[in-house]
């Protein structure tokens, strides 16, 4: 007779699940044994990982790429705890993910048994649904509710199952319909649309701020921009959805953004926010009328005071709003913003060159990747300086994807997320822009690349430091401390793990190395020694930040580390003047 684990696997298969990321353990034995015994053509593949956090990152990236339910599984106690960071990331990225968290024997719960934790409490903050299955009869209902909640609320659902319950006889219940997202549209009320149209028709200088909610609404947003003669600023998570084929694009704003994006928002009299949860209040205009469109009503006014709020999908809302808007507007605000962006873009591109010196400029690494990567490549980027260079130098085109820990902001995301993406399609080019600190944090899962036969390409920005942390210290006027990294050759480590490793120490070597890596059938790690003191300046420097840099320079000299100041000047002044 089939057991609970068999029922679990059958339900997942009916929902279209084809792989499960995870790490085995004794409390998960019945589940992994059910996977072993299920050997049909539609068998679910077990994607063995070396750390549960990496497994959760991988599953989250799969869900983000496909929009479909992805699954991760792990054992009780410490295995559950290792999940947490990756699940937080997936939940904050709003991707549908089912986490199967096995638990200690049900008779021992509450006895401080070996490896005992309280999973429901652990996972509640990083999930949209968490429930313990203590009786096999619960399972069909709990599992279906969990899967539907993950898919419809777009978040993490956790099903906690004691190891002995997996071995119990399966409940007798007819199969449910396959659990897939039910398509729906959300349109604002007529009164809200009228209020937004009135505010926009009264405006002289409109700027659009686009976030990830504009996915699938590229043409509609551009139609709004044309009618309103509005520049389009994008948040980082909106980049892949709106940047391409966009004559109204003026770049990003925020800590990673461009001065042109910041200025287009600061100089507008009306800001139209479309599908964005952009969190940095200091970058919002101080005096503008603000109109916000979001499919989740609880998001309205969360980041800045608004004058008009509309609950709806961006595509539907834009189509409903367009007939209500007046045309024949002045293009001066748009023209000024686009001209500023072109100047800013040229200055940024001037930095992304081989200046003939070592170490290599990180901007140049990102630019070469952009030029050589496939037109449908998927990029993952580590939090820290790699995501800055990805945001500024990778160009999206409607086919490429850019995935990262953009809401949760975790280190060590790029490499395991690349595994998750590559697991979906082994023929698609997947490139991880990894920081040296981030890669080292989950370094063991390089072995998972080899074991799962995934042709991931990893490019390491090896600057021997926690680079973005150093920048934050400089801005705060603090002398760098505790940020240096004594790195090995990551290329040599890759080779020892059965992965092709390439070391790059000069700019002249870079293009050939990247081309070689991308042309290789299997996995490759390119270890690029990059400039440590490269400054990634935010688009607007506050007085406090300027004061902080001055204090950092003074304190650095007084602490006997003036060579760092010379290196900073060489990297950011002389090399830019005389490259």
**Would you place residue 257 in the very low, low, confident or very high pLDDT band (cuts 50, 70, 90)?**
confident
Residue-level pLDDT at 301: 96
Nearest of 520, 515, 517, 523 to residue 372 by alpha carbon: 515
Pick from 236-250, 324-338, 384-398, 543-557: least confident: 543-557
Residue-level pLDDT at 181: 78
d(CA 501, CA 494): 5
Residue-level pLDDT at 567: 52
Considering the chain, what percentage of its residues have pLDDT values greater than 70? 92
Mean pLDDT of the chain: 92
Q: Does the pLDDT value for residue 175 go beyond 60?
A: yes
Pick from 130-139, 178-187, 472-481: least confident: 472-481
Q: Does the pLDDT value for residue 176 go beyond 70?
A: yes
Tokens of 431: 């490139």
**Would you place residue 226 in the very low, low, confident or very high pLDDT band (cuts 50, 70, 90)?**
very high
Dump the DSSP string for 153-214. HTSEEEEEEEHHHHHSBPP--PPPPP--PPP------HHHHHHHHHHHHH-SSEEEEE-GGG
Q: What are the tens digits of pLDDT across the range 363-406?
A: 999 999 999 999 999 999 999 999 999 999 999 999 999 999 99
**Mean of pLDDT values over 134-142:** 95
Q: What are the tens digits of pLDDT across the range 198-220?
A: 999 999 999 999 999 999 999 99
Of 356 and 337, the structure prediction assigns the larger pLDDT to 337
What values do phi and psi take at 48, rounded to 5? -75, 125
Token pair 């792990």: residue:
74
Residues 167, 5 contacting (CB under 8 angstroms): yes
Residue-level pLDDT at 568: 42
Residue-level pLDDT at 52: 98
* Helix, strand counts (H, E) of the chain: 24, 18
Strand order from edge to edge, sheet including 401-404: 401-404, 378-381, 430-435, 457-462, 524-529, 500-504
d(CA 408, CA 410): 6
Q: Does the pLDDT value for residue 222 go beyond 80?
A: yes
Residue-level pLDDT at 167: 97
Residue-level pLDDT at 136: 96
The answer to whether the Cα torsion of 249, 255, 259, 263 is positive or negative is positive
Q: Does the pLDDT value for residue 539 go beyond 80?
A: no
Considering the chain, what percentage of its residues have pLDDT values greater than 90? 81
Number of C-beta neighbours around residue 343 at 10 A: 12
Residue-level pLDDT at 509: 98
Provide the annotated active-site residues.
52, 114-115, 383, 468
Residue-level pLDDT at 189: 96
Q: Does the pLDDT value for residue 552 go beyond 50?
A: no
Token pair 């005071």: residue:
305
Q: How far apart are the first and last CA of the chain?
A: 73
Residues 253, 240 contacting (CB under 8 angstroms): no
**Mean of pLDDT values over 272-301:** 95
Say what the pTM is: 0.92
Calculate the CA dihedral of residues 212, 215, 217, 219 and round it to 10 degrees. Answer: 100
For the chain, how big is the Rg over CA atoms in Å? Answer: 25
Q: What are the tens digits of pLDDT across the range 411-427?
A: 999 999 999 999 999 99
Tokens of 440: 């080292």
Residues 6+ apart with CB under 8 A from 14: 175, 176, 178, 179
Residues 142, 176 contacting (CB under 8 angstroms): no
Strand, helix or coil for residue 259? helix
Q: Does the pLDDT value for residue 541 go beyond 80?
A: no
Tokens of 458: 């990893």
Residue-level pLDDT at 564: 44
**Would you place residue 536 in the very low, low, confident or very high pLDDT band (cuts 50, 70, 90)?**
low
Dump the DSSP string for 355-411. -S-SSB-HHHHHHHHHHHS-TT-EEEE-TTHHHHHHHHHPPP-SS-EEEE-TTT--T
Tokens of 188: 């604002």
Q: Does the pLDDT value for residue 555 go beyond 60?
A: no
Q: What are the tens digits of pLDDT across the range 484-506?
A: 999 999 999 999 999 999 999 99
Q: Does the pLDDT value for residue 241 go beyond 80?
A: yes
Residue-level pLDDT at 39: 84
Q: What are the tens digits of pLDDT across the range 445-488?
A: 999 999 999 999 999 999 999 888 887 777 777 778 899 999 99
Nearest of 143, 51, 53 to residue 100 by alpha carbon: 143
**Mean of pLDDT values over 166-172:** 93
**Mean of pLDDT values over 348-375:** 95
Residues 271, 196 contacting (CB under 8 angstroms): no
Residue 99, CB half-sphere, CA atoms under 13 Å: how many?
43
Residue-level pLDDT at 534: 62
Residue-level pLDDT at 548: 46
Walk me through the domains of the chain, giving residue ranges and CATH numbers.
4-167 (3.40.50.970), 190-339 (3.40.50.1220), 352-541 (3.40.50.970)
Strand, helix or coil for residue 87? helix
Residue-level pLDDT at 573: 42
């Amino acid at each position: 007779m089939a057991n609970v684990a068999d029922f679990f696997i059958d339900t997942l298969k009916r929902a279209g699940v084809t792989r499960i990321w995870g790490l085995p353990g004794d409390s998960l034995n019945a589940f992994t044994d059910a996977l072993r015994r299920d050997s049909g053509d539609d068998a679910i593949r077990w994607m063995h990982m070396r750390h549960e956090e990496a497994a959760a990152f991988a599953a989250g990236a799969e869900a983000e790429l496909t929009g479909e339910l992805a699954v991760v599984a792990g054992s009780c106690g410490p295995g559950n705890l290792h999940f947490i960071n990756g699940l937080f990331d997936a939940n904050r990225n709003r991707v549908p993910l089912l986490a199967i968290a096995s638990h200690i024997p049900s008779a021992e719960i509450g006895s401080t048994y070996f490896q005992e934790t309280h999973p429901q409490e652990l996972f509640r903050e990083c999930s949209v649904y968490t429930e313990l299955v203590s009786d096999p009869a619960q399972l069909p209902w709990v599992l279906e509710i969990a899967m539907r909640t993950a898919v419809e609320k777009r978040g993490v659902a956790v099903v906690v199952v004691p190891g002995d319950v997996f071995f119990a006889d399966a409940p007798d219940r007819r199969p449910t319909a396959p659990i897939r997202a039910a398509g729906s549209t959300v349109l604002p009320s007529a009164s809200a649309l009228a209020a937004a149209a009135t505010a926009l028709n009264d405006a002289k200088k409109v700027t659009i701020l686009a976030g990830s909610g504009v996915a699938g609404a590229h043409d509609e947003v551009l139609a709004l921009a044309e009618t309103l003669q509005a520049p389009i600023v994008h948040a980082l998570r909106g980049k892949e959805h709106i940047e391409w084929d966009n004559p109204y694009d003026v770049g990003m704003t925020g800590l990673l953004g461009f001065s042109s994006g910041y200025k287009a928002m600061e100089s507008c009299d009306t800001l139209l926010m479309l599908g964005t949860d952009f969190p940095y209040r200091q970058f919002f205009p101080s005096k503008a009328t603000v109109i916000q469109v979001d499919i989740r009503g609880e998001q309205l006014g969360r980041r800045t005071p608004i004058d008009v709020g509309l609950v709806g999908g961006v595509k539907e809302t834009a189509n409903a709003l367009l007939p209500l808007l007046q045309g024949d507007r002045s293009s001066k605000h748009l023209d000024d913003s686009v001209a500023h962006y072109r100047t800013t873009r040229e200055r940024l591109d001037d930095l992304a060159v081989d200046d003939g010196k070592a170490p290599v400029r990180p901007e140049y690494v990102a630019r070469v990747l952009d030029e050589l990567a496939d037109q449908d490549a998927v990029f993952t980027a580590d939090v820290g300086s790699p995501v800055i260079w990805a945001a500024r130098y990778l160009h999206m085109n409607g086919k490429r994807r850019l995935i990262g820990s953009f809401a949760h902001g975790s280190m060590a995301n790029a490499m395991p997320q690349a595994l998750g993406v590559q697991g979906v399609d082994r023929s698609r080019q997947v490139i991880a822009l990894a920081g040296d600190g981030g890669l080292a944090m989950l370094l063991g899962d390089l072995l998972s690349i080899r074991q799962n036969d995934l042709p991931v390409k990893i490019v390491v920005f090896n600057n021997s430091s926690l680079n973005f942390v150093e920048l934050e210290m400089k801005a705060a006027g603090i002398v760098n401390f505790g940020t240096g990294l004594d790195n090995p050759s990551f290329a040599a480590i890759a080779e020892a793990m059965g992965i092709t490793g390439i070391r790059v120490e000069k700019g002249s070597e870079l293009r050939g190395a990247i081309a070689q890596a991308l042309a290789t059938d299997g996995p490759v790690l390119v270890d690029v020694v990059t400039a440590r003191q490269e400054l990634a300046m935010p688009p607007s420097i506050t007085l406090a930040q300027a004061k902080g840099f001055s204090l950092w320079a003074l304190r650095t000299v007084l602490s006997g580390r003036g060579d760092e100041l010379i290196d900073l000047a060489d990297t950011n002044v002389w090399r830019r003047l005389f490259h």
